[in-house]
């Protein structure tokens, strides 16, 4: 969750591991900074992917545009404000929780804090090695 950004990012390694057909990737001349402090990056393209939250009984799916970032990360993707708006979702950063309306009630997505903290520490270590 990155409510400070309007971009939805997916990492190049994630795209490779998902085996996304290269014909689905569009050219993009997006330049961005702030993902890793002090590093400006040029996107490797963009791709539209369907994102689903919830359970089989109560779920929401939307197609989102992702900018392909040329960084390594323990995360697979970062969702920005555009994703929150599309899902009409409210993030709570203190609890690492995202809530949104679903067809059968509120969908709550929670993260395990310890796992998220470890991923963030590893991502910082990767960035420091650039």
User: Which stretches of 1-130 are assigned E, i.e. beta strand?
Assistant: 9-11, 31-33, 40-42, 46-55, 58-69, 77-78, 90-92, 97-102, 105-110
Task: Give the per-residue pLDDT at 64.
Answer: 95
| Of 12 and 42, more confident | 12
Domains of the chain, by residue range, sit at: 9-128
Please state, in angstroms and rounded to a whole number, the distance separating the CA atoms of residues 62 and 73: 24
DSSP annotation of 25 reads: P
Residue-wise pLDDT for 58-97, tens only, equals 999 999 999 998 877 777 888 888 898 999 998 887 777 8
Residue-wise pLDDT for 115-130, tens only, equals 555 556 655 565 555 5
74 by Cβ neighbours in 10 Å (0-12 / 13-18 / 19+) ranks as middle
55 by Cβ neighbours in 10 Å (0-12 / 13-18 / 19+) ranks as exposed
State yes or no: pLDDT of 101 exceeds 80: yes
State yes or no: pLDDT of 1 exceeds 70: no
Task: Give the per-residue pLDDT at 7.
Answer: 84
Please state, in angstroms and rounded to a whole number, the distance separating the CA atoms of residues 85 and 93: 16
Residue-wise pLDDT for 34-54, tens only, equals 555 666 778 889 999 999 999
């Amino acid at each position: 969750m990155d409510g400070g950004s309007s971009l939805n990012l997916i990492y190049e390694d994630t795209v490779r591991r998902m085996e996304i057909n290269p014909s689905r990737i569009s050219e993009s001349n997006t330049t961005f900074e702030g993902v890793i402090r002090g590093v400006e990056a040029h996107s490797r393209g963009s791709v539209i992917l369907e994102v689903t939250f919830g359970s089989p009984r109560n779920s929401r799916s939307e197609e989102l545009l992702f900018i392909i970032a040329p960084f390594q990360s323990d995360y697979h993707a970062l969702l920005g404000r555009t994703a929150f708006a599309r899902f009409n979702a409210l993030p709570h950063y203190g609890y690492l929780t995202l809530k949104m309306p679903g067809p059968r009630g509120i969908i709550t997505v929670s993260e395990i804090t310890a796992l998220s903290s470890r991923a963030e520490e590893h991502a910082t270590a990767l960035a420091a090695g650039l």
